[in-house]
A and B are shown apart, each in its own frame.
Chain A
């Protein structure tokens, strides 16, 4: 038995497994009916996410960011396309891989970087950190670090807006690995049953932490193939094409707003780095990594905008302007004070800090 297993070296070194290559980009998506200024805006947003996250990584290497970070490098199109299709009062729920979603909803990157550095000016006064970015003023209802939990919570927010009749829609992002925990199944069942105004978005980056998703999942498409179990349609899209994401998001969100219930979207993508900052991602076949780097969402979008007649100089200006903003935000964060011990005891109970316990 054991010798037989060793006959498949891919089980002992995942990098030796056959690569999972991306579908080719879709030039036909150039013709999706999306206003050119919306597209330029999405280009800018992807740049903003990419450059902020790269800076976060640099700050990490300078030992200024403690703990861990989970980057969305290569996955920016999903956060961008969805956020663009959302109303300002819609709700976002994300995972510990949540920088992109926080920024896409309009959070100030100064406060984002300050939070990563644990400063008082951060989104959560330095008490949440990279895994918990939250900005309720922008509808960003939290980054959750227990797999699956927030799908259940997102349902509650969706139900609440349904009850209050506000027309708000909740969009909840999670990974491929999350489709194997019970919370996913309870939540999708619940949302379908109560016809909740929620959109579940599986960002399928082909890996959980270090294990390829196909080794631990009995179906090819971890979210889409399970949709029918809950009476939902399978929606499988190219997560590296912001335009495809955007039109999918528009449709799913308007369905939800019309009261027609939830949608489960699987957006196929790839994380260009490791799972977290501690992970060099050596378990990935190099051919696979290269193919996905070639399908970089920003690079492809850049080419699309050129094809659509946006001058190269305008795109360069955008990228430079973003770089300047990221530099400014970095300076702001570095110059910000660390929170004093008085902050340690607050924000626990609604009627006070720990001193409330008489």
Chain B
């Protein structure tokens, strides 16, 4: 298994898809000649030429719309939104156009496009370039939403996203771009969408993570005196209900760790489902470990406090296991 950085795994996944399918095209701001601001499309222009790999003007609405139209008529576009925030000026194309095309064509048109976007905090990019914002897209039937949690699954998930017949939003935690991992490559390495991955099995508690928080959870489990099962959801829409329910049915305790604000974060959906389905089996309340409901701060110390850290996750989970009751979050004086 080759070892590479997450941005290299991404570039390789796109390149491999472009090799096997001539309808795959790539465009976005600075993706061609510069190879992408995060080097996630490095080398594509040289190999595939300027017809298939294109720099666009700063027109997120314009090029996302072009992706919808191209996907509906025979191409398989992979477009890059440099920072997920920039999707705000083009959200219509995703949640109201691309995701509704199939429905509004009586099922005759599919929209096989992939929207890649870098997300998340941790690099000091401050309030307007550090959010995850997946909640913008979760309640939009017709879309799928997946995230890499490192080089290891970035390759396989992205290949599936590009092959998928529906619009897929593929999130890339920005702070992991430079982190290396062992990557299974090749056409058999595609990881199906909608399937969670049990990263580590355990007995006492199930910790559900997504994107950047998978590492946080794994690190916590390695340090913990208790035995934690770690689930990387990999896809949020549709999320793997079966995997999570089976795990929690065994461990009887659920902790969800999210890099998004506490209120209305994706974990609320998981928590509701599990609490409803396994009501009576649970030995502790469902615990969500998130960021507080504030913008992402700039300074390093504040940003570290803001993000759910390994030690914070450990302290919260430990409290849950020891008392069987819900800890308050740190901003309400809870364990940290």
Contacts of A123 in B (CB 8 A): 106
Contact A156 B68 (CB under 8 A): yes
Can you give 14 contacting A-B residue pairs, CB < 8 Å? A93-B69, A127-B103, A134-B106, A146-B92, A156-B65, A156-B68, A159-B69, A160-B73, A164-B75, A170-B69, A182-B89, A183-B61, A186-B61, A349-B102
User: Looking across the interface, which residue of chain A has its beta carbon closest to that of B238?
Assistant: A357
* A179 to B: closest C-beta gap in Å: 15
Q: Tell me, yes or no, whether A316 is within 8 Å of chain B by CB.
A: no
Residues on B facing A (Cβ under 8 Å):
25, 51-52, 54, 56-57, 59, 61-75, 77, 89, 92-93, 96-97, 101-110, 112, 141-142, 144, 164-166, 194, 237-242
State how many angstroms separate the Cβ of B78 from the closest Cβ of chain A. 13
For the complex, give the distance between the alpha carbons of A354 and B134 in Å: 20
Contact B25 A350 (CB under 8 A): no
Q: Quick check: B142 and A187 within 8 Å, CB to CB? A: no
What per-residue 1/0 map shows which CB atoms of A126-155 lie under 8 Å from chain B? 011000101011000110101001111111
Taking a contact as CB atoms closer than 8 A, the residue among A155, A161, A189 that contacts B65 in the complex is A155
A158 is an interface residue with CB less than 8 A from chain B: yes
Contacts A350-B102, A350-B164 aside, 4 further interface pairs with beta carbons under 8 A come to: A156-B66, A156-B68, A347-B107, A358-B242
> 0/1 per residue, A151-186, Cβ < 8 Å to B?
111111111110110000010000000000011001
B residues less than 8 Å from A124 (CB atoms): 104-106
Say yes or no: is A283 at the interface (Cβ < 8 Å to chain B): no
Which of chain A's residues have a CB closer than 8 A to the CB of B63?
152, 190
Chain A contact residues: helix, strand, loop or mixed: helix
Contact of A157 among B62, B70, B106, B107 (CB under 8 A): B70
Q: Are A128 and B69 in contact, CB atoms less than 8 angstroms apart?
A: no
> In the complex, what distance in Å separates the CA atom of A158 from the CA atom of B65?
12
Q: What is the minimal beta-carbon distance from B240 to any residue of chain A, in angstroms?
A: 7
- Asked if A136 and B59 make an inter-chain contact with CB atoms under 8 angstroms apart, the answer reads no
- Which of A156, A189, A351 contacts B73, CB < 8 Å? A156
Are A134 and B165 within 8 A (Cβ)?
A: no
Given known A156-B73, A157-B72, A193-B57, contact A187–B65 (CB-CB < 8 A): yes
B74 touches A164 (CB 8 A): yes
A156 touches B72 (CB 8 A): yes
Pick from A127, A132, A153, A194: contact of B72, CB under 8 Å? A153
Residue contact A358 to B72, C-beta cutoff 8 Å:
no
**Assembled-state Cα–Cα distance A346/B237 (Å):** 17
> Chain B residues near A149 (CB, 8 Å)?
61, 65, 92-93, 96-97
A348 in contact with B93 (CB, 8 Å): no
Determine which residue in A128, A159, A354 has the highest number of CB atoms from chain B within 10 A of its CB, and name it.
A159
Contact A183 B240 (CB under 8 A): no
Chain A interface residues toward B at CB < 8 A: 91, 93, 123-125, 127-128, 132, 134, 136-137, 141-142, 144, 146, 149-161, 163-164, 170, 182-183, 186-187, 189-190, 193-194, 346-351, 354, 356-358
- Contact present for B106 and A163 (CB under 8 Å): no
Who on chain A is nearest to B242 by CB?
A: A358
Whether the pair B105, A134 counts as a contact (CB closer than 8 A) is yes
Report chain B residues within 8 Å CB of A349: 102, 141-142, 144, 166
The answer to whether A358 and B25 touch across the interface, beta carbons within 8 angstroms, is no
Given A149-B97, A190-B57, answer yes or no on A127-B62 (Cβ-Cβ < 8 Å): no
Q: Contact: B238 with A152, CB < 8 Å?
A: no
CB distance from B183 to the nearest CB of A (A): 26
User: In the docked arrangement, what's the CA distance between A193 and B27, Å?
Assistant: 14
A356 to B240, CA, bound (A): 11
Q: Measured between C-beta atoms, what is the minimum distance from B146 to chain A in Å?
A: 14
- Complex contact B65–A153 (CB within 8 A): yes
Cross-chain contact A153 with B69 (CB below 8 angstroms): yes
The interface residues of chain B lying within 8 Å CB-to-CB of A160 are 69-70, 73-75
Residues of A within 8 A of B59 (CB): 186, 189-190
Given contacts A160-B70, A160-B75, A358-B241, contact A348 B102 (CB under 8 A): yes
A159 and B56 contacting across the interface, CB-CB below 8 Å: no
Are B240's CB and A152's CB within 8 A? no
Would you give the shortest CB distance from B241 to chain A, in whole angstroms? 6
Select which of B61, B93, B108, B141 is within 8 A of A136 by beta carbon. B108
Q: In the complex the two chains form, what is the Cα distance from A183 to B107 in whole Å? A: 26
Q: Which residues of A contact B109 (CB under 8 A)?
A: 136, 141
Question: Which of A182, A190, A347 contacts B102, CB < 8 Å?
Answer: A347
Instruction: Please tell me if the beta carbons of B62 and A354 are within 8 angstroms of each other in the complex.
Output: no
Assembled-state Cα–Cα distance A91/B73 (Å): 10
Residues of B within 8 A of A156 (CB): 65-73, 75, 77
Shortest C-beta distance, B236 to chain A (Å), equals 11
